[in-house]
Every structure is written in structure tokens, then in C-alpha cells.
Copies of this chain bind each other. A is one copy, B any other.
Amino acid sequence: MSFSTLSPTFVEEMTQEHERRGQILISCPVFGRPDRADAATLTIVTAGDREVLALMEDLFQALGSDLFHVGDRPSKANWVKILGNFTLGGLLETLSESLSLGERAGINPETLVEILDTALYHSPVFRGYGNLMATEKWDPAGFRMKLGLKDIRLVLKESDALEVSLPLADLIHSGFISGIHRGYGELDWSALKKVRADDSGREENSIS
């Protein structure tokens, strides 16, 4: 059983190696931090042999409240996990740029997040990351920028193999690389906003 965020290609290789040895690999990456595991509210994405998965039911119920089976090849679950983390990277980039511009336009960032969440998103993730950026509380990190870089690298490696063009993923990758060189690698990955705000100046030309 593998709960890790791994490259789908690597999981496919592991699956074939398990098959050669007469073993069965189950992939079950999770969405959620340790507090959600304690509360048994993780989202668990599974892929692999259904009969073997049925034997794990008690374990999954002890950890998660939502269970999705996405196919017989274990790597499929890892695809869903890396795609999910990529979408979070997209949210971070979006918030980083819009809050940086908003601040320069004299819009309070917490107010902006509240209005947009009320008007459009109704999403705890939007509001949570938005407020994290507005208050710049990146230390201690919920998820470190260095791990964000690892995840976006997985996405780029897989998309390159499939010849899929992902301009946003390229841009997030560059953003994390820049952030790490500025010393933000151990901060929360939402410190991407610091990269974007730094690059745009903080004071000059501001509208009050």
C-alpha cells in the first residue's frame, strides 16, 4: 500500500515489478493534513485491485470520510493526486497576482478575499490561502515551498512525456524556483505571493 504523492510513471514501474514477483500494489494517496486524518475526514483516492481494496475498508474508514476508486491501475490514483496539487498551485498563482495588484491599487487584501469569496467562490480553500497571503503568515509552513516545487516537477515531467503543453505549470515552477533562491523554500508555498509582490515593488506608484 502506498499513500505517498509519487510520479505516476514510477508507480507504474513499481506495479510491474510487484506483478513480476506475484505481489499486489495498492495506491491510495490522500488529500488533507494530519488534523484531518485525526478527525477521519481525509479524502482518499484509491486505485488497484478491487478485492484487495475491499479488505482495507476498516482502515480507510478510520482515516477518511470520502473514498474514490479511480481504476485498476494503481498509477491512476497518483495522477489524481498530482493533478489536485497542480490546481492548488494555480490557485496560489492566481491569488498571488491578484492580491499583489490589489494592494498596489489600495485595496485591503483581507477585504478583497472576503468579497471575492462571498461573491464568487464560497470556498474555504480560496479564503484560507487568500487570508494566509493577506496576513503573510508563512512560517511555520502548512506545506513547504520546497515540497510544492517537488510536486510541480512531477506534473511537468509527466506532461512532457505525454507531450501536453502546460504554460501555467511552467510559470508556477519558475515562481517556486525564484522563491527558493530568495530564501523562501522553508516557508509555506503560498509565499509565492512574496515572489510576485517583490517583483512588482511594494510602494512605488501605489494608489492610496
Contact = CB atoms under 8 A, between A and B. Distances in A.
Interface of A: 8, 31-32, 43, 45, 66, 68, 70-71, 76, 79-80, 83-84, 86-88, 90-91, 93-95, 97-98, 100-102, 104-107, 111-112, 114-116, 118-126, 155, 158-159, 161-169, 171, 175, 196, 199-201, 204-207
Copies of this chain, count? 2
Given A84-B120, A90-B93, A159-B101, A171 B167 contact: yes
A121 B88 CA distance: 9
B70 A111 contact: yes
Contacts of A155: 101
B200 A101 contact: no
Contacts of A163: 200-201, 204-205
Contacts of A83: 98, 101-102, 105, 107, 112, 116
B123 A205 contact: no
Contact of A121 (B120, B125, B164, B167): B125
